[in-house]
Structure 1
């Protein structure tokens, strides 16, 4: 498993296991796991991106799909502990204005 998911009530805390890149190789599998957490209304999804150092276009696409699904299902989505490398990439593609950074 690439993700560790800890649930406390309706909050899901997600961290990445031995994953430093969100890219074409792993983004679809990660996307599918995260989408499953967005379908129930009222959930909160907190993604710990401290280990993510690189995100390619496939990774950004997956994050955006999860964001859209969360929004449609009244689920909050936050990116937490975002690494400096990932922050720079989010700023480069102006997604720092889309995602809530905690």
Structure 2
């Protein structure tokens, strides 16, 4: 499991550097948003924590805070039957920050 978590964290770090960080507004005291799109684990049918989503989104939130921003709120929307096979759940995570 640790191997997958390392891979998931590395993936999130790459997404932050290439896609999230360039979209962050300059710190101006206003509240801004960024949308993060992601998927659940493949064939995730179990009751419990989704380590993929948790690891990846937490890594991005941590990096946003490490850049000196304050996370104001995090909102989640899920969409069933996503992905190539239709067996995944899609997530839209809206992060409000300032």
Instruction: Give the TM-score of the pair, scaled to structure 1.
Output: 0.37
TM-score, normalisation: structure 2: 0.38
Which protein shows a greater Rg?
A: 2
The one of the two structures with greater contact order (alpha-carbon pairs below 8 A, sep at least 6) is 2
